[in-house]
Amino acid sequence: GNSVTQMEGPVTLSEEAFLTINCTYTATGYPSLFWYVQYPGEGLQLLLKATKADDKGSNKGFEATYRKETTSFHLEKGSVQVSDSAVYFCALIEKGAQKLVFGQGTRLTINP
């Protein structure tokens, strides 16, 4: 079946550091890939997405590139801020399918 694996958290960085959160997936077809973010006390919000190989999703300074050859969709940001502290979820959905498959989430804490 389909699955998503994220790097274990928690991740703690200093402000202005470079961020990478790894995400790899297993899928039978060619899924669409997503990153969701959950700020404290809130639900999940879509951060960015990519729908086909080599697509790059970007939003709020975050980027992720759909790499079919390595089945990866790593999240990156060049300079993190305290306000980026949240839990980040990688997810996939197969074309035409209904169910969004989530990774386990990675908690990110940014210290000033």
Which residues of this protein are in contact with another protein, per CB under 8 A? Answer: 32, 34, 36, 41-46, 49, 51, 89, 91, 93, 95-96, 98-100, 102, 104-105
Q: Which CB atom, from 19 or from 89, has the smaller least distance to another protein?
A: 89
- Mode of pairing for the β-strands spanning 11-14 and 106-111: parallel
Could you tell me the smallest distance in angstroms from the CB atom of residue 102 to another protein? Answer: 5
End-to-end CA distance of the chain: 41
Query: In whole angstroms, how far apart are CA 82 and each of 22, 39, 108?
Result: 20, 12, 10
Q: Which CB atom, from 6 or from 77, has the smaller least distance to another protein?
A: 6
Tokens of 99: 């169910």
Could you tell me the smallest distance in angstroms from the CB atom of residue 41 to another protein? Answer: 8
Cα separation, 70 vs 51, whole angstroms: 16
Q: Which CB atom, from 78 or from 95, has the smaller least distance to another protein?
A: 95
Query: In whole angstroms, how far apart are CA 66 and each of 6, 10, 25, 47, 48?
Result: 15, 24, 11, 15, 11
Q: Which CB atom, from 96 or from 112, has the smaller least distance to another protein?
A: 96
Could you tell me the smallest distance in angstroms from the CB atom of residue 34 to another protein? Answer: 5
Could you tell me the smallest distance in angstroms from the CB atom of residue 103 to another protein? Answer: 8
